[in-house]
């Protein structure tokens, strides 16, 4: 275990990853609006204090960025202050559009299994394709204008519905990010349709040459409370999902149960794991 890994591991155990928003650092922290011509998203960007390497800063992009990006910034600045990693968080203007951006169209299920969850009646759903296109066509070009970032060394992090979207991004645009992290993802959505999407993705990879090139990484972190709880068979869905993905050449799959965590508490340690994994693989 490297010195950095030991520091991150100890920080998780000692509770140093509890959220605490650091003061903004002039010149290193900024925010701006990204637009696809129809909708706007606010982006929080934090640059490290380290000088950029020749290839540019590596990058972690966090969904639900208003909460996740300051926590990641705090972790980086305390635990790896000299690391050349930039952090970008995607947030929502007033009113938000989280359910719309992170989901496929909600299905009306006939005889839904016990414990099935569904979107609130006042939420729009089904906009994940537009959101994914915005990341490639609008977010990354703007990030390259704002700072010397290395788009080839980017990690996408999402929790809950954000974790569900992480799978959509991997399955539909696997070259956009080098690494994908899904923390307690909402795989219950539409009674586990992510499994059929994973199988279609695996079939597409086989049909296109048997291997993902360049290689990609996927980390799936599951809270034990979620795995034992009352949604649509999370363990069964996870088993089917990992089975579909495990045979894909060029995809490094890391699946881990976090037995001490529930759906909310998993955020802190999952961010530690994400930062650790990103630094180990992007350096």
Per-residue pLDDT at 6 exceeds 50: no
Work out how many domains the chain is built from and give that number. Answer: 1
Per-residue pLDDT at 268 exceeds 90: yes
pLDDT digits (tens, 9 = 90+) for 155-193: 999 999 999 999 999 999 999 999 999 999 999 899 899
What is the predicted pLDDT for the residue at 121? 72
Q: Provide the CA 1 distance to its chain's centre, in angstroms.
A: 24
**Mean pLDDT of all residues in 191-215:** 91
Cα end-to-end distance, the chain, whole Å = 15
Segments forming the whole domain that contains residue 247: 3-17+28-103+124-282
Residue 114 lies in a domain: no
Residue 116 lies in a domain: no
What is the predicted pLDDT for the residue at 242? 95
What is the predicted pLDDT for the residue at 226? 54
Rounded Cα–Cα distance for residues 116 and 170 (Å) = 25
What is the predicted pLDDT for the residue at 219? 98
pLDDT digits (tens, 9 = 90+) for 66-76: 999 999 999 99
Per-residue pLDDT at 205 exceeds 70: yes
**Under 8 Å CB-to-CB from 242, ≥6 apart: which residues?**
220, 253, 255
Residue 111 lies in a domain: no
Structure tokens at 82: 């000299």
Question: Which carries the bigger pLDDT value, residue 236 or residue 105?
Answer: 105
Nearest to 182 by CA among 11, 63, 36, 43: 63
Residue 109 lies in a domain: no
**Mean pLDDT of all residues in 6-30:** 46
The CA–CA distances, whole Å, from 154 to 94, 168, 206 equal 28, 16, 25
Rama region for 17: left / alpha / beta (φ>0; ψ in -120 to 50; rest): alpha
Coil, helix or strand at residue 137: helix
What is the predicted pLDDT for the residue at 224? 79
pLDDT digits (tens, 9 = 90+) for 107-160: 877 666 665 666 777 788 999 999 999 999 999 999 999 999 999 999 999 999
**Mean pLDDT of all residues in 238-253:** 93
Residue 89 and residue 66 in contact, taking contact as beta carbons nearer than 8 Å: yes
What is the predicted pLDDT for the residue at 217? 97
Nearest to 75 by CA among 124, 158, 12, 122: 12
What is the predicted pLDDT for the residue at 281? 87
**Mean pLDDT of all residues in 234-254:** 91
Angle at CA 120, nearest 5°, toward 18 and 63?
Answer: 35
Per-residue pLDDT at 26 exceeds 60: no
Between strands 40-46 and 29-35, the pairing is antiparallel
Model pTM?
0.87
User: What CATH number did the domain enclosing 246 receive?
Assistant: 3.40.50.1820
What burial class does residue 95 get, using C-beta atoms within 10 Å of its C-beta: 0-12 exposed, 13-18 middle, 19+ buried?
exposed
Residue 119 lies in a domain: no
Sheet hosting strand 179-183, strand order edge to edge: 29-35, 40-46, 85-91, 57-62, 149-159, 179-183, 211-223, 249-258
Residue 110 lies in a domain: no
Listed in sequence order, the DSSP H helices in 122-221 are 128-134, 140-146, 161-172, 193-207
What is the predicted pLDDT for the residue at 92? 78
Per-residue pLDDT at 283 exceeds 80: no
Rounded Cα–Cα distance for residues 184 and 266 (Å) = 8
**How much of the chain exceeds pLDDT 90, in percent?**
70
Residue 176 lies in a domain: yes
For the ranges 4-18, 37-51, 107-121, 132-146, the lowest mean pLDDT is seen at: 4-18
Please, which pLDDT band fits residue 23 given cuts at 50, 70 and 90?
Answer: very low
Per-residue pLDDT at 62 exceeds 50: yes
- Average pLDDT of the chain? 86
Residue 175 lies in a domain: yes
Residue 57 and residue 147 in contact, taking contact as beta carbons nearer than 8 Å: yes
What is the number of other CB atoms lying within 10 angstroms of the CB of residue 72? 26
């Amino acid at each position: 275990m490297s010195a950095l890994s030991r520091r991150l591991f100890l920080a998780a155990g000692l509770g140093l990853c509890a959220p605490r928003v650091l003061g903004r650092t002039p010149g290193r922290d900024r925010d701006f609006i990204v637009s696809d011509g129809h909708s706007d998203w606010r982006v929080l960007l934090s640059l490290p204090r380290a000088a950029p390497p020749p290839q540019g800063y590596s990058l972690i992009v966090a969904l639900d960025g208003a909460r996740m990006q300051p926590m990641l910034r705090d972790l980086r600045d305390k635990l790896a202050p000299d690391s050349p990693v930039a952090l970008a968080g995607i947030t929502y203007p007033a009113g938000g559009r989280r359910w719309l951006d992170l989901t496929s169209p909600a299905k009306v299920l006939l005889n839904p299994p016990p414990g099935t969850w569904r979107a609130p009646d006042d939420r729009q759903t089904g906009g994940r394709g537009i959101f994914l296109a915005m990341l490639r066509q609008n977010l990354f070009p703007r990030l390259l204008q704002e700072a010397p970032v290395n788009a080839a060394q980017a990690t996408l992090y999402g929790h809950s519905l954000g974790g569900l979207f992480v799978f959509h991004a991997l399955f539909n645009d696997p070259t956009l990010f080098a690494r994908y992290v899904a923390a307690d993802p909402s795989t219950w959505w539409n009674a586990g349709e992510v499994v059929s999407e994973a199988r279609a993705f695996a079939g597409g990879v086989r049909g296109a040459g048997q291997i993902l090139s360049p290689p990609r990484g996927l980390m799936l972190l599951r809270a034990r409370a979620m795995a034992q709880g009352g949604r649509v068979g999370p363990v069964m869905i996870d088993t089917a999902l990992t089975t579909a993905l495990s045979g894909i050449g060029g995809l490094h799959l890391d699946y881990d149960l976090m037995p001490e965590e529930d759906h909310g508490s998993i955020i802190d340690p999952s961010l530690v794991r994400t930062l650790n994994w990103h630094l180990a693989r992007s350096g």
